[in-house]
């Protein structure tokens, strides 16, 4: 008789650990993991620097990504940046990530269209050059 591994999980017992976006840490654990005081986390929440999830009773829940963000805020403030400056840096970093994702999408789209149209192109250093025939 052969036993089969359980379905739906990645571990031997079928357990699937939560992803980095899962809001699973209570404020005391998030404070300890980030090296900050719980009241500081509440302040950062009020200022919109981090957006923890909420339980039905209103308790905050933080994800691993939230904790990394808290560590970034702590590092930037320790380097002398004010909280408004930290907020702007985080906004700009998020914008850069979104733009990088869009560039990757466009490069994939271009590569696909090249295969369909057989247009020669060069992609280097985030620049795209397409050669087209000048025949009319």
Give tens-digit pLDDT for 64-81. Answer: 999 999 999 999 999 999
Of the candidates 74, 77, 81, 84, the one whose C-alpha atom is nearest the C-alpha of residue 32 is: 74
Query: What pLDDT, on a 0 to 100 scale, did the predictor assign at position 136?
Result: 54
On whether the CB atoms of residues 50 and 87 are closer than 8 A, the answer is no
* Lowest-pLDDT range of 8-22, 54-68, 86-100: 8-22
Of the candidates 112, 35, 38, the one whose C-alpha atom is nearest the C-alpha of residue 75 is: 35
Query: What pLDDT, on a 0 to 100 scale, did the predictor assign at position 125?
Result: 66
More confident residue, 68 or 11: 68
Residue 2 has pLDDT above 90, yes or no: no
E-strand ranges in the chain read 25-26, 53-54, 60-62, 121-124, 127-130
Residue 132 has pLDDT above 70, yes or no: no
More confident residue, 136 or 130: 130
Q: How confident is the model at residue 20 (pLDDT cuts 50, 70, 90)?
A: confident
Please provide residue 35's backbone torsions phi and psi, each rounded to the nearest 5 degrees.
80, 20
pTM: 0.66
């Amino acid at each position: 008789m052969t036993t089969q591994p359980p379905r739906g999980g990645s571990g031997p017992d079928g357990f699937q650990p939560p992803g980095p976006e899962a809001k699973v840490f209570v404020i005391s654990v998030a404070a300890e993991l980030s090296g900050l005081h719980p009241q500081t986390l509440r302040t950062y929440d009020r200022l919109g620097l981090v957006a923890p999830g909420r339980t039905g009773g209103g308790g905050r829940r933080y994800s691993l990504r939230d904790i990394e963000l808290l560590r970034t805020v702590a590092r930037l403030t320790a380097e002398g940046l004010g909280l408004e400056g930290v907020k702007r840096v985080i906004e700009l970093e998020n914008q850069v990530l979104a733009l990088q994702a869009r560039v990757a999408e466009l490069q994939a789209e271009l590569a696909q269209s090249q295969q369909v149209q057989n247009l020669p192109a060069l992609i280097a250093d985030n620049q795209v050059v397409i050669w087209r025939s000048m025949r009319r």
